[in-house]
């Protein structure tokens, strides 16, 4: 048994498919015969040549569009790519360990990256990001040599990897994936959020998973207890067959809620909206009878392409989504780039701390060639449907005001072209950094609505990067400081007469529902697969009890105390539904 952290609830049994994570793709990991070694050498030389050609093109493009100093980023990466010691270690790993080239590249480059990340010298630490970037670029070149952007995932496979970035996950054949197992990541990483939105069980933080699990192994993934069984005996398989049946039964018990309102015990009806990542997700939102789309993340459309989607491409899928949900509202968020959300065709300068680098609306305001086509697509959809525009990672009032200026410019352009749009389309601010939360009352005067994004807010308030396993214990959504900040945002929005929705992962956990309602939130937006459990929690909550719960929680001094408090309030039936680790006799291995 291997232990990790359950990041997407559910259990799954299937055959392992081990992949190595590339720059914008994933590649399979397998054992090879001695007769294949020379062929792997030739593949490596071809991949290096392909990656080098891509770097030369990027270097030239960036030099022309941005400047010579920025272009040198790719010059440094070319030096890494041609490093003889790296090449020798990759080839030696192939020969000695008899694993395919992709696995060797991943292992050797990871070793180099870790050694540089731990260096005291700042220059050497910067080199770590270059090495990691080159690693991903070589793996992508190998995938392209095979004639596809990613491996063909067998139907019903359980994908096992060292890590899965959002861009890589988006390119997998997600319909074929039964579960995910990763060495890195945590409950609040972007790949985990995607897994929950898909309703796919996932366990992250499983040390050595890609080495201990081989392609073809029979494995069980328990996304509730956070454990993975490799080639389990029949008694464990039977136990999990029973558990899977129990989970299915609990979901079926909630199906009657689909057509019922999300109304509290004392008669207050609350909008329950859906978070979606792509057009097909709107179908799930529709089937679960969502009151609308509270957050349409548009990054998926960008990550699955090798170049920026055109205005027409964006308009087409957004119009289809709006048509499906009409007349219910949709909130389209502008593409949130920067931080850990990187595009291979949109190079950004390396940063020692990507979470604090330029991102969100500030980045878009400096790249109007990205911002304006998306705004044009949004506004054209607004001609026929009740959509709103959400600005990501707003830091202060100037972000909102500058964005409004660009919106007016785009509106003038559309008017001149005779293309219809809603001139009063609402423009909202995403509250996900402390400065925006503290300025919520002022921001609400310039923004038409506010949306509370707790995923990033928690990491910035507590100085705990949600993508970094070392800080995972400090990433505590129920920390009293977070709760007090949420309450201040609620009060700021209310005083300005603005709507406020919460669309972060906190909203999707029924354990948090009563507490959030007690803090004053009245509009929740969650992944479609979480809607019924959250609706069930709403329908079993009395607002006065919720307010008392929030008052008690705000007086506590630690996240553990708040968690104990909300667990005490949870009905026993909910505790059984969440489950616990089944009986087994396995070891950590």
Does residue 502 contact residue 516 with C-beta atoms inside 8 Å? yes
Sole residue written with tokens 């923004």: 447
Give φ, ψ of 526 to 5 degrees: -135, 165
Kind plus residue range of the DSSP H or E element containing 530: none
What's the rounded Cα separation, in Å, for the pair 557 and 490? Answer: 21
Residue 228 CB neighbour total at 10 angstroms:
25
DSSP E strands: which ranges in 422-518? 427-431, 449-452, 499-502
Kind plus residue range of the DSSP H or E element containing 210: helix 209-212
Give φ, ψ of 219 to 5 degrees: -135, 155
Of the residues 21, 385, 479, 503, which is catalytic? 503
Does residue 458 contact residue 505 with C-beta atoms inside 8 Å? no
Q: At what angle do helices 397-417 and 368-382 cross, to 10 degrees?
A: 60
Residue 525 CB neighbour total at 10 angstroms:
28
Beta pairing class for 227-230 and 2-3: antiparallel
What's the rounded Cα separation, in Å, for the pair 451 and 430? Answer: 5
Sole residue written with tokens 């503290």: 438
Beta pairing class for 449-452 and 427-431: parallel
**Residue 21 falls in the annotated catalytic set:** no
Helix, strand or coil for residue 84?
Answer: helix
Query: 253: Cβ–Cβ under 8 A, 6 or more apart, which residues?
Result: none
What's the rounded Cα separation, in Å, for the pair 254 and 542? Answer: 19
Provide the 8-state DSSP code for 334: P
Of the residues 190, 385, 479, 512, which is catalytic? 190
Torsion (CA) 23, 24, 28, 33 in degrees, nearest 10: -50
Alpha carbon separation from 380 to 208, 302, 321, 426 (Å, rounded): 49, 19, 13, 14
Tokens of 536: 């069930």
Give φ, ψ of 293 to 5 degrees: -110, 110
Our CA angle for 71, 149, 302, nearest 5°, is 60
Query: 395: Cβ–Cβ under 8 A, 6 or more apart, which residues?
Result: 362, 433, 435, 436
Three-class HEC string of 254-320: HHHHCCCCCECCCCCECCEEEEECCHHHHHHHHHCCCCEEEEEECHHHHHCCCCCCCHHHHHHHHHH
What's the rounded Cα separation, in Å, for the pair 530 and 541? Answer: 17
What's the rounded Cα separation, in Å, for the pair 247 and 537? Answer: 17
Annotated catalytic residues are 190, 503
């Amino acid at each position: 048994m291997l232990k990790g952290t359950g990041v997407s609830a559910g259990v799954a049994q299937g055959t392992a498919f081990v992949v190595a994570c590339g720059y914008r793709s994933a590649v399979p990991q397998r054992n090879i015969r001695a007769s294949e070694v020379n062929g792997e050498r030739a593949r490596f030389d071809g991949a290096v040549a392909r990656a080098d050609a891509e770097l030369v093109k990027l270097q030239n493009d960036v030099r022309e569009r941005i400047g010579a100093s920025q272009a040198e980023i790719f010059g440094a990466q070319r030096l890494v790519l041609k490093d003889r010691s790296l090449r020798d270690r990759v080839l030696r790993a192939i020969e000695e360990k008899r694993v395919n080239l992709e696995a060797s590249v991943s292992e050797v480059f990871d070793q180099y990256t870790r050694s540089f990340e731990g260096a005291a010298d700042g220059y050497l630490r910067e080199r770590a990001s270059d090495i990691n970037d080159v690693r991903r670029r070589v793996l992508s070149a190998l995938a392209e040599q095979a004639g596809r952007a990613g491996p063909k995932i067998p139907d019903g496979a359980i994908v096992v990897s060292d890590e899965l970035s959002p861009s890589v996950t988006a390119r997998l054949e997600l319909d074929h994936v039964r579960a995910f197992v990763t060495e890195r990541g945590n409950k609040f990483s972007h790949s985990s959020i995607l897994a929950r939105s898909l309703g796919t069980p996932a366990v992250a933080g499983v040390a050595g998973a890609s080495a201990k699990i081989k392609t073809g192994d029979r494995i069980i993934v328990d996304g509730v207890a956070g454990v993975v069984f490799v080639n389990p005996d029949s008694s464990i398989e039977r136990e999990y067959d029973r558990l899977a049946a129990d989970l299915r039964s609990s979901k079926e018990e909630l199906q009657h809620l689909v057509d019922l309102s999300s109304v509290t015990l004392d008669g207050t009806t609350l909008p329950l909206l859906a978070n979606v990542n792509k057009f097909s997700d709107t179908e799930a939102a529709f089937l679960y009878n969502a009151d609308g789309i509270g957050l349409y993340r548009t990054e998926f459309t960008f990550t699955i392409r090798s170049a920026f989607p055109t205005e027409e491409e964006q308009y087409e899928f957004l119009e289809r989504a709006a048509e499906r949900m009409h007349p219910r509202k949709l909130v389209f968020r502008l593409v949130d780039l920067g931080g850990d959300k990187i595009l291979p065709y949109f190079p950004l300068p390396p940063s020692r701390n990507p979470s604090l680098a330029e991102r969100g609306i500030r980045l878009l305001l400096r790249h109007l060639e990205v911002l304006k086509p998306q705004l044009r697509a949004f506004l054209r959809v607004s001609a026929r449907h009740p959509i709103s525009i959400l600005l990501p990672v707003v830091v202060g009032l100037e972000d909102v005001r500058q964005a409004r200026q660009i919106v007016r410019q785009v509106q003038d352009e559309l008017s001149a072209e005779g293309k219809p749009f809603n001139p009063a389309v609402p423009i909202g601010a995403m509250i996900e950094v402390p400065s925006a939360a503290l300025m919520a009352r002022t921001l609400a005067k310039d923004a038409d609505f506010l949306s509370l994004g707790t995923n990033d807010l928690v990491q910035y308030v507590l100085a705990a990067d949600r993508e970094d396993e070392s800080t995972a214990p400090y990433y505590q959504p129920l920390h009293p400081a977070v709760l007090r900040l949420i309450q201040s945002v609620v009060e700021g929005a209310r005083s300005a007469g603005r709507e406020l929705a919460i669309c972060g992962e906190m909203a999707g956990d029924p354990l948090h529902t009563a507490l959030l309602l007690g803090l004053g939130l009245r509009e929740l937006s969650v992944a479609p697969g979480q809607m019924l459990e959250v609706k069930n929690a709403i329908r079993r909550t009395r607002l006065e009890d919720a307010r008392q719960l929030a008052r008690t929680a705000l007086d506590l001094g630690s996240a553990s105390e708040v968690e104990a408090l909300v667990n005490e309030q949870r009905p026993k039936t909910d505790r059984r539904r969440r489950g616990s680790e089944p009986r087994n006799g396995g070891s950590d291995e």
